[in-house]
Chain A
Amino acid sequence: VIGERTTSSSNGMQSILSEKDARIGEEERRGAVFKHVEGLGYRVGQGLVERFSQDRPRFAEVLDVMKFICKDLWQLIFRKQIDNLKTNHRGVYVLTDNSFRLLMRMSTEAGGLDTVTRAQPYLWFPCGVLRGALANLGVQATVVAETTAIPVASFHVQTLRQD
């Protein structure tokens, strides 16, 4: 009996381990794809800003840069403006788009959380666009995005202090 138990528990252990391995593999793969897609967006963000901010006066503050992105850049890319811009005045900005173009017509059979999870990768490209646009306007930042209900998307921008 003891022998049996040992085998079954070691089997159990093994399957837990391999499941964990698979999960790590999956996460790594996701991470690699994220980096790729985000990188594509980054270049696009850089290019767009270069083209469309050239005739403007220099932005005085980061908030002005944010407003430019929410109004002009978003309009240019998605034909609408960001619906809501929030900041904690300590370098964090949250941009919310209540009817985000790329998610507008998305649905999955299972619906709900399944749709939200599967829609997530579609936010990686615009994350990159935002980061690239900010970078070319002199604002170093990290950008992550999430959606809690289709088609709402919010982008969390954490600007990095430049000392």
Chain B
Amino acid sequence: MSRTPRQIGEEVWKTRVEKVNAELVTLTYGSVVAQLCKDFGNDYIQVNEQLDKMGYNIGIRLIEDFLARSNTSRCRTFKDAAEIVSKVGFKIFLNITPTVGNWSQDNKQFSLIFDENPLADFVELPDDGKAINELWYSNILCGVLRGALEMVQTQVEAQFVSDVLRGHETTEMRVTLIRILEDEMPVGDD
């Protein structure tokens, strides 16, 4: 690869992305989460699930937009994929580059550590004593990642393990490779 993921991300962000006001995104996402909490009667486990599902549906569509804009080539290893996710994916859609780290021994698990998270600006969790232990506020991102990677034959699990909104030191998402999906021919199609 002639250019680093960081350079690709920077360039696409500067030249090929239409931007919207960050506050609009933050407020709209906040409004969605608040509404979900209401809809599910503050059952935050269900809210997490719903956010993940919404993200998944975004991810499976977003990947196409990502590939069209970034024009990146196939990743050879899961490590490459992690770099692209952080330096190109998050860069061009949210203008952040979460740190990739905490690789497991077998290189099948890594963390994305978010120094900044535009979704969570001016956010406070409901102070019902429950949300702080149960709600993963930015859970939509897990779904987006899962959906997008699945569309490029990479099945992963993604979940937050800490969040500054809950009073933790960092906001960290754990991503685990389940398997690389094989291209399967439809039945009866030679």
Residues of A within 8 A of B (CB): 36, 39-41, 43-44, 47-48, 51-52, 76-77, 79
Q: State whether B23 touches A48 (Cβ < 8 A).
A: yes
When chains A and B are docked, how far (Å) is the Cα of A131 from the Cα of B27?
Answer: 15
Residue among B20, B21, B32, B35 with the highest chain A CB neighbour number at 10 A: B21
Q: State whether A43 touches B34 (Cβ < 8 A).
A: yes
Contacts of A36 in B (CB 8 A): 35
Q: State whether B24 touches A77 (Cβ < 8 A).
A: yes
Residues of B within 8 A of A (CB): 20-21, 23-24, 27-28, 30-32, 34-35
Q: State whether A44 touches B31 (Cβ < 8 A).
A: yes
Contacts of B31 in A (CB 8 A): 40-41, 43-44, 47
Q: State whether A47 touches B21 (Cβ < 8 A).
A: no
Residue among A47, A76, A79 with the highest chain B CB neighbour number at 10 A: A47
Q: State whether B24 touches A76 (Cβ < 8 A).
A: yes
Contacts of B35 in A (CB 8 A): 36, 39-40
Contacts of A48 in B (CB 8 A): 23-24, 27
A40-B35, A79-B20 are known; give 15 further A-B pairs, CB within 8 A: A36-B35, A39-B35, A40-B31, A43-B27, A43-B30, A43-B31, A43-B34, A44-B24, A44-B27, A47-B31, A48-B23, A51-B23, A76-B23, A77-B20, A77-B21
> Could you tell me the distance in whole angstroms from the C-beta of B165 to the nearest C-beta in chain A?
17
> For residue A36, which residue of chain B has the nearest CB?
B35
Q: State whether B21 touches A76 (Cβ < 8 A).
A: yes
> For residue A125, which residue of chain B has the nearest CB?
B28
When chains A and B are docked, how far (Å) is the Cα of A48 from the Cα of B35?
Answer: 17
When chains A and B are docked, how far (Å) is the Cα of A52 from the Cα of B30?
Answer: 17
Contacts of A76 in B (CB 8 A): 21, 23-24
Contacts of A52 in B (CB 8 A): 23
> For residue B35, which residue of chain A has the nearest CB?
A40
Q: State whether B21 touches A44 (Cβ < 8 A).
A: no
When chains A and B are docked, how far (Å) is the Cα of A39 from the Cα of B35?
Answer: 9
B28: which of A39, A44, A51, A79 is its contact (CB, 8 Å)? A44
When chains A and B are docked, how far (Å) is the Cα of A47 from the Cα of B28?
Answer: 9
> Could you tell me the distance in whole angstroms from the C-beta of A85 to the nearest C-beta in chain B?
21
Contacts of A77 in B (CB 8 A): 20-21, 24
B32: which of A40, A47, A51, A79 is its contact (CB, 8 Å)? A40
Contacts of A41 in B (CB 8 A): 31
When chains A and B are docked, how far (Å) is the Cα of A44 from the Cα of B28?
Answer: 6
When chains A and B are docked, how far (Å) is the Cα of A51 from the Cα of B27?
Answer: 10
Task: Give me 9 A-to-B residue pairs in the complex whose CB atoms sit less than 8 angstroms apart, sorted by A's number.
Answer: A36-B35, A40-B31, A43-B30, A43-B31, A43-B34, A44-B27, A52-B23, A76-B23, A79-B20
When chains A and B are docked, how far (Å) is the Cα of A36 from the Cα of B24?
Answer: 18
Contacts of B21 in A (CB 8 A): 76-77
Contacts of A51 in B (CB 8 A): 23
> Could you tell me the distance in whole angstroms from the C-beta of B118 to the nearest C-beta in chain A?
14
> Could you tell me the distance in whole angstroms from the C-beta of B25 to the nearest C-beta in chain A?
10
> Could you tell me the distance in whole angstroms from the C-beta of A125 to the nearest C-beta in chain B?
8
Contacts of B24 in A (CB 8 A): 44, 48, 76-77
> Could you tell me the distance in whole angstroms from the C-beta of A21 to the nearest C-beta in chain B?
26
